[in-house]
């Protein structure tokens, strides 16, 4: 069971290359009430993400890869402004506002559309997963755990401890 308030990201990736449909809408990270919302945004690698400023003050968005600290971008976003960016590869990113240092969020980019957050009891589910060999990766508190799974028609249940 995850620690209270901890975000547990679960990703299901195919063992062999697959092509997935393009997302219907670009995910949005908004700046409102001097807070990034949501605190953790899941996005698709290679597809656009929007960063919006709904506050009545200037903000910037400073994004760095979590593991390497390599800067992805750092842009000012005026009130009602929007900046669009496409993340080139999978991973976690730190999001901050240099103008308001208390503002912080995280972003997880994945090439698979099968990514979710575990609930408070550690449970999660995916729907419409094509049958085949997959790898499930669980990210929690800076650690990751992987298991190979075989998805069959109907319901496949996986227990990871």
Residues 6+ apart with CB under 8 A from 6: 140, 141
Predicted structure pTM score? 0.89
Range of the domain at 1: 1-20+113-152
159 lies in some domain: no
Same domain, 25 and 102: yes
Q: What is the mean pLDDT of each run of 10 residues along the chain (161 residues)?
A: 65 94 95 96 97 95 95 96 96 95 96 94 89 94 90 71 65
Question: What pLDDT is stored for residue 154 in this prediction?
Answer: 66
Residues 6+ apart with CB under 8 A from 161: none
The whole-angstrom separation of Cα 56 and Cα 154 is: 49
133 lies in some domain: yes
The whole-angstrom separation of Cα 106 and Cα 83 is: 17
Same domain, 130 and 104: no
pLDDT tens, position by position, 13-44: 999 999 999 999 999 999 999 999 999 999 99
Percent of the chain past pLDDT 90, that is, above it, reads: 79
Same domain, 62 and 133: no
Question: What pLDDT is stored for residue 1 in this prediction?
Answer: 39
Rounded to the nearest integer, the mean pLDDT of the chain is 91
């Amino acid at each position: 069971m995850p620690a209270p308030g901890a975000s547990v990201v679960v990703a299901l990736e195919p063992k062999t290359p697959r092509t997935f449909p393009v997302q219907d809408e670009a995910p949005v990270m908004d700046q409102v009430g001097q807070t990034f919302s949501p605190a953790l945004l899941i996005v698709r690698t290679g597809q656009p993400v929007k960063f919006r400023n709904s506050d009545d003050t200037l903000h910037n968005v400073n994004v760095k890869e979590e593991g390497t600290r390599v800067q992805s971008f750092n842009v000012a976003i005026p009130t009602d402004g929007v900046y669009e960016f496409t993340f080139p590869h999978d991973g976690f990113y730190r999001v901050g506002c240099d103008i308001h240092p208390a503002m912080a969020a995280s972003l997880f980019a994945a090439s698979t559309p099968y990514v979710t957050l575990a609930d408070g009891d550690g449970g999660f589910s995916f729907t419409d997963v094509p049958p085949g060999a997959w790898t499930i990766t669980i990210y929690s508190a800076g650690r990751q755990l992987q298991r190979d799974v075989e998805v069959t028609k109907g319901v496949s249940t996986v227990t990871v401890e």
